[in-house]
A and B are shown apart, each in its own frame.
Chain A
Amino acid sequence: MLKPKTLSQILGEANTGGIQSTLLLNSTGALLSYSGKGEGDGQVIAAIVSNIWSVYEESGQSALLEDKLNFLLLDCENGRVCVTRVADVLLCLYAEPWVGLGILKTKAEALAQYLDEPIHHIASS
């Protein structure tokens, strides 16, 4: 059984050291769970990153010999975004511009690894 409040709390554990918000979204851009400041921003970020992800996953499969997209890092003037896959959903971390890309990626990897089994379980049931 999925407990939305617990899931949100787990996502919130990544929100330290300049990470503003953590999102779990599906491949169509719908927000599944969110932890951080201003949920409205989360919905916009979810919609845009899922779109970029799906385009690059598709074009990577055709141009890069069926290569699978594992990570996406975006660096903008006022923030940084890291996206990775957990089971069949996407995990997205949105951070301040001074947060190192390495720590952002490492946090995303750690959280994805932690969430992988329970989300796989939900996806397969």
Chain B
Amino acid sequence: MIEDATSYMQSVLESYRKDGLHAIAVTDRDGVPLLKVADAEIPEHALRQNFLSTFGMATDQANKLGIGKNKLMVFAYSNIQIILFNKHPLLVTLIASVNANTGLLLKLEEQLHSLVSCISSLVDA
């Protein structure tokens, strides 16, 4: 099952690579990667647990803003943008070039929804 999920994510990554997408990671709240696919263009440390684990904290902080549950976050750095989907209990992280079309990448949420729901049910079980 994991092989199928990884190959599906790899196919999604391949189809969006020309649009600037470099990596997709599905992690738990502590940043432990359950699934990740990446190309060679992302910085080596960008998919390490100590970096990914900070997103769970940010989501928890954002939930305290008093404007409801956090759904997504976009971090735009000088060269890279990171898009984070909150799929409790999981987090989906997209790492893309800063020039990539953010709106297009946000649409990926729908494409990854069934995969993430399937993994979520396994995590909950």
Partner-contacting stretch, out of B6-14, B32-40, B62-70, B112-120? B62-70
Are A73 and B73 touching (Cβ within 8 A)?
Answer: yes
Are B67 and A69 touching (Cβ within 8 A)?
Answer: no
- Chain A 22-49 near chain B by CB (<8 Å), digits 1 or 0: 0000000000000000000100110011
Given contacts A52-B58, A69-B75, A69-B76, contact A74 B70 (CB under 8 A): yes
Residues of B within 8 A of A65 (CB): 43
Given contacts A70-B77, A74-B73, A101-B74, contact A79 B65 (CB under 8 A): yes
Q: CB of B121 within 8 A of chain A?
A: no
8 Å CB contact of B71 from A75, A94, A102: A75
Are A72 and B77 touching (Cβ within 8 A)?
Answer: no
8 Å CB contact of B66 from A41, A70, A74, A97: A41
Are B61 and A59 touching (Cβ within 8 A)?
Answer: no
Are B62 and A77 touching (Cβ within 8 A)?
Answer: no
A83 to chain B, nearest CB (A): 10
Q: CB of A67 within 8 A of chain B?
A: yes
Residues of A within 8 A of B54 (CB): 55-56, 59
Given contacts A45-B65, A48-B64, A79-B65, contact A63 B74 (CB under 8 A): no
Q: CB of A68 within 8 A of chain B?
A: yes
Are A60 and B68 touching (Cβ within 8 A)?
Answer: no
Q: CB of B78 within 8 A of chain A?
A: yes
- Chain A 70-88 near chain B by CB (<8 Å), digits 1 or 0: 1111111111010000000
Q: Write the residues of chain B forming the contact surface with A, with a CB cutoff of 8 angstroms.
A: 43, 45-46, 48, 50-51, 54, 57-58, 61-80, 102-103, 106
Q: Write the residues of chain A forming the contact surface with B, with a CB cutoff of 8 angstroms.
A: 41, 44-45, 48-49, 51-52, 55-56, 59-60, 62-65, 67-79, 81, 94, 97, 101-102
